[in-house]
Amino acid sequence: MIKPLGDRVVIKVSEGDIKTASGIVLPDTAKEKPQEGTVVAVSDGKYVEGKKVALDVKVGDKVIFSKYAGTDVKFDGTDYLIVRDSDILAVVE
């Protein structure tokens, strides 16, 4: 599997219709559009002022992130996105 480094997270992006079970519907505006997905891997932690701390998300979290963030990778036929945790806006609970 892919192990992200530093402050990075691997996300399985929700495809197609973005009206998910959680009820998120992204508006059709000219503003920055967020996307939804599920965290499938997180790094071992990031440095904050010299101390290594855990990221704010964990594997399994459904998250909202900026559409233009990150780098696409395909692994065993599945598309993933590697993003920095600061590009994740919120967790859907």
In sequence order, the β-bridge partners of residue 23 are none
What residues numbered 56-75 form the site for a second copy, per CB under 8 A? 56-57, 64, 66, 71-75
Kindly state whether residue 10 participates in binding a second copy, applying the rule CB under 8 A. Answer: yes
Cβ contacts of 54-57, under 8 Å, gap ≥ 24: 55/7, 55/9, 55/85, 56/85, 56/88, 57/9, 57/85, 57/88, 57/91
Kindly state whether residue 29 participates in binding a second copy, applying the rule CB under 8 A. Answer: yes
Kindly state whether residue 27 participates in binding a second copy, applying the rule CB under 8 A. Answer: yes
Q: Interface residues with a second copy (CB under 8 A)?
A: 1-6, 8, 10, 23-27, 29, 31-34, 41, 43-44, 47-51, 53, 56-57, 64, 66, 71-77, 79, 82, 85-86, 88-93
